[in-house]
Amino acid sequence: MIDINMIRENPEKVKENIKRKYQDDKLPLVDEILKIDSKWRKLKFEDDNLRSERNKISKSIAGELKTGHKKEADKLKEKAKEIPLEIDKIEGKRKKLEEEIRQILMKIPNIIHDSVPLGKDDSQNVELERFGEPKVPAYEIFNHAELAEKLGGVDFDTARKISGNGFYYLKGDLSRLHSALISYAKDYMVKNGFEFVIPPFMIRSEVVDGVMSFAEKDAMMYKLEGEDLYLIGTAEHSLIAMFAYKNLNGKNLPYKITGVSPCFRKEVGAHGIEEKGFYRVHQFEKQEMIVICDPADSYDWYDKMLKLTVELFKEIGIPVRTLEICSGDLADLKAKSADVEAWSPRQKKYFEVGSCSNLTDAQARRLNIRAEKDGKIYFVHTLNNTVVASPRALIALMENFQQKDGSIIVPTVLQPYMGGMKKIEARK
């Protein structure tokens, strides 16, 4: 949610930002807010005048009583009784207009960073850098779902009967490999100075509206019937909400938090949800990192957080690249974002395994997260980044460490989390 003052002072900048995001249908929202805001400010002027008049009358009453003019004082008292009723009427109208303004502000996209490349959709995202050497072995790489079944590590059919498409039972050594990834990611982030937190897996609707756009909410979130609760789509939601409605001590910034959670997503309209595998699923586990920081430091933290994920995959031994998200593919609350993509030797291309985003003060304004330093109160900046999402990372690991016989070499850094196991082979 952007600052109303920006629309008041520079509406053309806000409109230009909407155009850069190829959301021309939202352009009328700027003028609509200005009209409502004009009514609000008129009411504010009337409210201020009434309060000023009430103060003057109070002083006059005191003066009349002091000089013994009781009748004049009584007349003023009668007049003074009417003013609070007028103020209440104005307050009611103002609050209604404030809510209208807030609802529209939540539909207007955040101001994107100048460095974000222009582009209409994900086909125009820009590659930044590659890390590691992408290889394609001479032998055939099995499809991850097929290989998982050969290894006795997954049961799609039973899960489909129990829960439907987009679910699976992960078993045996493959489930241990999944847990090893998460455990390694946790220790990696703690080693890099992040506090480990296990967050709630359900959040209230006001928090959902605070952490994401309405479009994302409709496409992603599962709501509990009869409850004001949603299942989280990522640990980021609960972790950011830890700071909601708080005035933080600016001297304690930044807050660096990492957390792991199950993630629940409807994946409405997602291609491949009917296919067997881990690409598009309704439930998975993910290690997330967030930073709450001073606005002046947020882009430095953006670079640091992106580097942390890249370094994690380098330590595991999976080739990756970073991809700058173009303006049209950028979610409304994000000012800048980049994906981390892992190499797929089977598909001979990269695929997304994580995403790093700077939301500047968009979430902070929605959730009223402020800080105070040197007598100044201001909205903080919030950032989030995937450390490792187990299904996608697991696919990348299974393909890049797959041997000719279908066995999987366990990366050196994960072996301690697997009881020293060095290779996963088909069950006899």
Q: How far is CA 255 from the centre of its chain?
A: 16
What does the pLDDT average to over 360-381?
A: 96
Residues 227 and 140 in one domain: yes
Q: How confident is the model at residue 345 (pLDDT cuts 50, 70, 90)?
A: very high
Does residue 223 surpass a pLDDT of 80?
yes
Provide the CATH number for the domain around residue 9: 1.10.287.40
56 and 148 assigned to the same domain: no
- State whether 239 and 328 are in the same domain: yes
93 and 184 inside one domain: no
Mean pLDDT calculated for residue range 358-370: 97
Shortest CA distance to 321 belongs to which of 342, 304, 297?
342
Say if 408 falls within a structural domain. Answer: yes
Whether the CB-CB separation of 326 and 128 falls below 8 Å is answered with no
- Asked whether residue 320 falls in the same domain as residue 375, the answer is yes
Range 147-168 average pLDDT: 93
Question: Quick one: 173 and 52 in the same domain?
Answer: no
**57 and 143 in a common domain:** no
Q: What is the pLDDT of residue 61?
A: 77
Residue 233 to residue 419: CA distance in whole angstroms? 31
Mean pLDDT across the stretch 146-172? Answer: 93
Task: Give the list of residues 6+ apart from residue 374 with CB closer than 8 angstroms, or none.
Answer: 250
Is 112 within a domain?
A: no
Check pLDDT > 90 for residue 31: yes
Q: In whole angstroms, how far apart are CA 27 and each of 121, 327, 361, 386?
A: 19, 16, 21, 32
Give yes or no for residue 154 having a pLDDT over 90: yes
The answer on 181 and 100 residing in a single domain is no
Last residue of a domain, one of 42, 76, 105: 105
pLDDT in tens, 184-209: 999 999 999 999 999 999 999 999 99
Instruction: Summarize pLDDT for 265-310 with one digit per residue, the tens.
Output: 987 545 554 567 888 899 999 999 999 999 999 999 999 999 999 9
Average model confidence (pLDDT) across the chain: 93
Torsion of CA 51, 57, 62, 65, to 10 degrees: -150
C-alpha torsion sign, points 352, 356, 358, 364: positive
Check whether residue 407 and residue 380 sit in a common domain: yes
Give the DSSP H or E segment for 303.
Answer: helix 298-316
Report yes or no on 218 lying in a domain: yes
pLDDT of 163 higher than 90: yes
- Residue 177 pLDDT > 50: yes
Check: pTM over 0.85? Answer yes or no: yes
Give pLDDT, residue 268: 52
CATH (domain of 281): 3.30.930.10
**Residues spanned by the domain of 93:** 4-105
pLDDT over threshold 70, residue 7:
yes
Greatest mean pLDDT range, 39-48, 71-80, 245-254: 245-254
Kindly report each contact of residues 9-13 with a partner whose C-beta sits within 8 Å and lies 24 or more positions away, as own/partner. 13/111
Q: What is the pLDDT of residue 269?
A: 47
Contact present, 386 and 380 (Cβ < 8 Å): no
The residue among 290 and 82 whose pLDDT is bigger is 290
Of the listed ranges 20-29, 157-166, 297-306, the least confidently predicted one is: 157-166
Query: Is the domain of 178 the same as that of 88?
Result: no
Number of domains in the chain: 2
